[in-house]
Structure 1
Amino acid sequence: MKVACLGAGYFAQFHYDAWRRLSGVELVGACDHNFAKAEGTGAPAFTELSAMLDAVRPDVLDIITPPPSHASAVAAGIAAGVQAIICQKPFCSSFEEARQVTELAASAGIPVIIHENFRFQPWYRSAKKLMDDGDIGTPLQLTFRLRTGDGQGPDAYQDRQPYFQTMPRLLVHETAVHWVDTFRFLFGRPTAVYADLRRLNPTISGEDAGHILFEFPEGRRALFDGNRLLDHAAENHRMTLGEGLFEGTEGTLSLTGDGALHLRRFGEVRTDTILPAREWSGFGGDCVLALQRHVLEGLTNRQPFENVAADYLFVREVEEAIYRSSETGTRVEI
């Protein structure tokens, strides 16, 4: 399977590394406006997407660039006749643009899979199985406390992703969408949201803290409590980005900053470690590799993909509802 990548910025390193570790993959191209960055990936380097697509004719185009480039890149991949396109989140610059791109891909019969990798993190896959198997009884509440600790002062985000400072929407559009999708993976589609968003660091343009309450069918709830200025107990704050709880009528699963998952039975104090902490290759429990493997297996075995663009439009819809809720101070139904 020939894979070509668009983008060679900070996060792209995890994509290139994962592709190289997957069997049956040939990394045939890397494209970036900065030729040195593209060349630094070790793959054949290009500065123009069209030139790369014409030269290497990939089976898979992996788009690892910010939202303003997504629509044109997907269109170029479709025109080049690739088998599948993977596109980083947040998908496109607006909901309407994402809808148009989704329709274009559907008319061409080419799957676009959104690179929403958090649902592929091992602790969420384990929690999903445990909840489905009834290990915590009837699940009622999900909570995640985002505490990245990288948002303080005038130099916030400059060492890794400096464009964060100028994004008009930050906490939700760039970060919390991970948990919009993860909560959807764990609990299904939310039916309403209530949000209170704030900007704490005056250096940046967008919001960097807030609470989002999600309502689900059958009385279930989820809470996203995000604050990029505060941290959590972890040697690597990028492992989980915070701490989580999965609560049910017969027990509680707790996610700690080292990536471990612990089970406490209802009424007990003692906990059992269900998923022990360990060193992972790649980012966030090697979730990038897990997603890429999922796409390859889907192409090879003709199995359905998770997070195709048509499904991911719902995440963009929820995102818009969150901002509307915060702006109006009201609960918004989806």
Structure 2
Amino acid sequence: MTLRVALAGAGMVSRHHLLAWSRVPDVEIVAIADPDIQAAEQRASQFSIPAVFADPGEMLANAAPDALDIATPVDTHGALIELGCSHHLTGILCQKPLASSLDAARDIVRRLEGRPTRVMIHENWRFRPHFRQIHDWLQSESIGRPRQFLLNVFSSGLLSRGDEAPPALVRQPFMAKMPRLIVLELLIHHLDMLQALMGRMSVRSADLARLSDAVTGEDTATIVMAGDGVFGTINASLSAKGYPARPQDYLQIIGSEGRIVLDGPRLELFGEAPVVLGLDHDQNYQASYDAAIRHFVDALAKGTPFATSPTDHLRILQQIAQIYELGGAV
């Protein structure tokens, strides 16, 4: 049976969504909607989508999809989820974060209680192939029990290049006006990924700063977290001189019997049976969309739980709210 999918949103990220949908068997993208009708028409032309709408309500009423993929600005998520539920869709896939505030996210989750439409948060970082490989090593106890971690995420993306705008804002101009930036927009991925790897943790301390005059929100953070026998630090900045414009992850996990190191294009296991793997981060970026969307389709078909449910995502948003409180940016 073919799953009929409608896509809300024709911005930059929609290309990655549509590439992923095109690689899943028994799926048909039946329509796309965006207030920028030209952007929607362009995506429709690129991916042979038969129907284009400016209004997502008209799209759901006329295209009659089974599922809705939401790739729109965060403040539209709640209304689009409500719209999808009112059309009795089988499933909704919604880009992270569910909402821009914890209270708004709680309200969305509350209104989903008892409704038949299933919702998954599109949190794809944990689906990146190198993090899935780390997960497999941890599950097989290749380094024993994880004890400590260090995650560094640095970029120079918010540093100006002469008269040119900072490259991060050329790529994602909306970030300039975000009152909450690096934690809500970027580190939300890492909070989810780390706990998918090593289990639930709590936030112990957080410091936040804004180093770039080009943005409103914080661009630099240090966060300390701890869980069951494991603790570590997240250090991040989008205004770190000498780093590439795109953020890069450096992750080290130290276990009782070895360690795992992700460093640029290299993933290495130090243990009884050492392993060194090369990575293509651009390829893995798209692969994470592919895997997340395939997981959504498979879970709908089999009736199995989503890896990133709204309830689980709400726990991450609660941690983010705590980070902002501890960091002095409530």
Q: What is the TM-score when the length of structure 1 is the normalising length?
A: 0.90
1:128 alignment partner AA: H
Q: Is the 8 A contact 1:192 1:216 kept in 2?
A: no
Q: How does 1:182-193 map to 2 (within 5 A)?
A: 182-193=193-204
Instruction: State, as a whole percentage, how many aligned pairs show the same letter.
Output: 29
Tell me the residue number matched to 1:272.
Answer: 275
With over 3 angstroms needed to count, the CA separation of the structure-2 counterparts of 1:317 and 1:305, relative to structure 1, is: same
In structure 2, the residue matched to 1:226 is 236
Per-residue deviation at 1:86? Answer: 0.8
Q: Which amino acid is the alignment partner of residue 183 of structure 1?
A: L
Partner of residue 93, structure 1: 100
5 Å matches for 1:124-139?
A: 124-139=131-146
Asked whether the equivalents of residues 191 and 217 of structure 1 are also in contact (C-alpha less than 8 Å), the reply is no
State how many pairs are aligned.
Answer: 319
For the residues of structure 1 that align with 2:78 and 2:243, how far apart are their CA atoms? 39
The 8 Å contact of residues 221 and 235 in structure 2, kept in 1 or not, is answered as: yes
Partner of 2:257: 250
- TM superposition shift of 1:280: 5.7
Q: Secondary structure at the match of 2:204?
A: strand
2: distance between equivalents of 1:232 and 1:115?
Answer: 32
Distance 1:279 1:101, change over 3 A: closer
1:81 and 2:92 correspond: no
Instruction: Report what 1:263 is aligned to.
Output: 269
- Classify 1:232/1:292 alpha carbon distance in 2 versus 1 (closer, same or farther; 3 Å): farther
The residue type paired with residue 264 of structure 1 is: F
Q: Which residue in 2 is equivalent to 1:9?
A: 11
Task: Provide, for residues 200-222 of structure 1, a one-character-per-residue CA deviation record: whole Å limited to 9, x for no partner.
Answer: 1012100111111111122x113
* Farther-moved stretch of structure 1 (57-66 vs 103-112): 103-112
Q: Is the 8 A contact 1:147 1:231 kept in 2?
A: no
1:200 to 211, 214, 232: 211
CA distance in 2, matches of 1:152, 1:166: 16
Aligned residue in 2 for 1:117:
124
Give ranges in structure 1 of 5+ residues lacking alignment.
329-334
1:1-334 mapped onto 2 (5 Å cutoff): 1-42=3-44, 43=49, 44-153=51-160, 155-156=165-166, 157-218=168-229, 220-230=230-240, 241-258=248-265, 260-265=266-271, 272-273=275-276, 275-278=277-280, 281=283, 284=285, 286-327=287-328
In 1, Cα distance between equivalents of 2:282 and 2:181: 27
Indicate if the aligned counterparts of 1:102 and 1:112 stay in contact, CA closer than 8 A. no
Match of 1:74, as an amino acid? I
Instruction: Find the counterpart in structure 2 of residue 331 from structure 1.
Output: none
CA distances 1:277-307 after superposition (whole Å, capped 9, x unpaired): 24764x6151011000001011111221111
* SS, match of residue 159 in structure 1: helix
For residues 107-164 of structure 1, the C-alpha deviation after alignment (integer angstroms, 9 at most, x for no partner) is 2122211111001111111111111211111211122111233111272233211010
RMSD: 2.1
Report the CA distance between 1:101 and its aligned residue: 1.1
**Equivalents in 2 of 1:313, 1:135: separation in Å?**
31
- Which amino acid in 2 is paired with 1:191? S
Structure 1 Cα separation of the partners of residues 34 and 136 of structure 2: 39
Give, in whole Å, the separation in 1 of the partners of 2:271 and 2:286. Answer: 26
The separation in 1 between residues aligned to 2:255 and 2:38, in whole angstroms, is 51
Aligned in 2, Cα 1:233/1:104: closer, same or farther, shift over 3 Å?
same
Would you say the 8 A contact 1:232–1:243 is kept in 2? no
- C-alpha contact (below 8 Å) 1:183/1:222 kept by paired residues: no
Amino acid at match of 1:144: L
Residue 231 of structure 1, CA deviation: 7.0
Note if contact 1:147-1:226 (Cα within 8 Å) is conserved in structure 2: yes
Which 5+ residue runs of structure 2 have no aligned equivalent? none
Say which SS state the counterpart of residue 41 (structure 1) adopts: helix
**Structure 1 residues 28 and 148 mapped into 2: Cα distance closer, same or farther (>3 Å)?**
farther
Classify the secondary structure of the residue corresponding to 2:59.
helix
Give CA deviations for 1:247-286 in whole Å, capped at 9, x if unaligned.
112111111222x3211238xxx9631x4324764x6151
Instruction: Output the CA distance in 1 between the equivalents of 2:204 and 2:64.
Output: 43
Q: Secondary structure at the residue paired with 2:212? A: coil
Q: Decide whether the 8 Å contact of 2:223 with 2:234 is kept in 1.
A: yes
